[in-house]
Amino acid sequence: MDIKFILSILLGKAILSATKLLNIGGGSAAPGYYALKFYPELVTKLSKQIPKTIVITGTNGKTTTAKMLGHFISSQGLKVLRNTTGSNLERGIASALISNFNMLTQSLNYDAAIWELDEAAFNSVALKLSPDIIVFLNVFRDQLDRYGEVDSIVAKWCKTAIKLKKSTKVFFNGDDASLIPLEKCFTGTKQTFGLSEFKIRGEKALSTKQQKLDFEAKNIEIKGLDGTKFEVETKTGKWGVSLSIPGIYHVYDFLASFAVSQELKLAPSSIINSFKTFSPAFGRVEKFKLLNSQSNAYIFLIKNPIGATQVFQTIKPQLKKDDRLLLILNDNFADGTDVSWIWDAGFEELRLKNLDLRITCSGTRAEELALRLKYAGFNPTSITIEDNIEKAFKASQTGLNGRLFILPTYTGLLSLQKILAHLGIKERYWKEN
């Protein structure tokens, strides 16, 4: 037995207990961080104990896809392990593995692991995980200050991919032309997913001679805030799906999860049926009732130009004259410190003809957001600037007769989560998984 290995796990578990006991937070990173210092091969060694390892990467949709796939797998009575959001670096994965490692049986009692890795972490962690399946969702401009330019992200992914084992099965978004160069980086099986209509085009134009998609959503019917109806067609069959989360972008997340579940030989009709009990990840289209009013509020996370524009297109047909918007722009590290992206996002899409909705802009760069709206053609008198998110949330409810649409960036969403918990609207610390 490898004593150092066991000691590193014990060390990690001790730190985990300490952080829980002292309630100091950091439980998703610290145990892994220190255990890895003590035993650098920890992730490789532990990960091998799980029969199927699935890695999900891309700019948008990682959390929803991981959550959906996790739901599909566990609906079939299988045990699945995932990393919590915000801890998608190696230490986060190590922490998840350590906390679930059973010291008595000296094993991890899981059938599958789903790891979401951000664009940069993919290159440092994928080789250690030696995944059986990889999903590439998309690659859009997002936080250039952290991840770099789209072409360089794909080039780095390719370098990593070449070193992976040949049996690795790859699924990628066939509608995102930026991902196409990846095809030649994998020698194993590659399959694509995408839409027959309403395609979300990426940063590059798609060739007119697009290859036949392996998993294709067809006959798509957009049902506003109630979601999307479509058929998913593969070589082996066709199934009707009613997705209750609005937004075409979620159809891609579904297709990716569905494709992987087919690789895992899960019964299609059974997993589609399991959707009835699926609830989306926090802030990825969330609906709740506001206090002291009968009004509904919806939260849609926005974080980069293509994603945000997709959100605008999803909610625009739903906006009515009494509805209001609360937009939150932060420029903290996790949001990206460069707010240039809002100038590439289609805020013009949110404008209604002859109708000025009340809009509150909040967050650390509320003024920049208000400026963007002014240049998108909104009447400045309909815009209120309130940096403080809690105050902005309250102000946007005063005299509200319609619904409130809240569109925050990532750390704005985290603040909102605390505020909602504090006000008793949502229970505290609800988790993403």
> Binding residues for another protein, per CB under 8 A?
141, 144-145, 149-152, 337-344, 364-365, 367-368, 370-372, 374-375, 380, 383, 385
How many angstroms separate the CA atoms of 301 and 58, rounded?
A: 16
For another protein, which is the closer residue by CB, 68 or 179? 179
Closest approach, Cβ 149 to another protein, in A, equals 5
Q: Whose Cβ is closer to another protein: residue 45's or residue 204's? A: 204
Residues 40/122, Cβ–Cβ less than 8 Å = no
What are residue 24's phi and psi, to 5 degrees?
-100, 0
CB of 329 to another protein, least distance (A): 11
Q: Among residues 261 and 364, whose Cβ is nearest to another protein?
A: 364
State phi, psi for 15 to the nearest 5 degrees: -65, -40
Q: Specify the DSSP class assigned to residue 315.
A: H
Shortest distance (Å) from residue 278 CB to another protein: 35
215-222 and 228-233 strand pairing: antiparallel
- When the beta carbons of 151 and 197 are compared against another protein, the nearer one is 151
d(CA 391, CA 219): 44
**Residue 257: which of 277, 238, 272 has the closest Cα?**
272
Q: How far is the CB of 151 from another protein (least distance, A)?
A: 5
Smallest separation (angstroms) from another protein to the CB of 375: 5
Strand order in the sheet with 215-222: 80-82, 112-116, 52-57, 133-136, 169-173, 190-195, 215-222, 228-233, 238-243
Report CA 73 to chain centroid distance, whole Å. 18
Looking at beta carbons only, is 339 or 357 nearer to another protein?
339
The nearer residue to another protein, 67 or 141, going by C-beta atoms, is 141
The least distance separating another protein from the CB of residue 283, rounded to whole angstroms, comes to 24
Please tell me the distance from the alpha carbon of residue 34 to that of residue 291, in angstroms, as a whole number: 43
Backbone angles phi, psi at 247, to 5 degrees: 110, 120
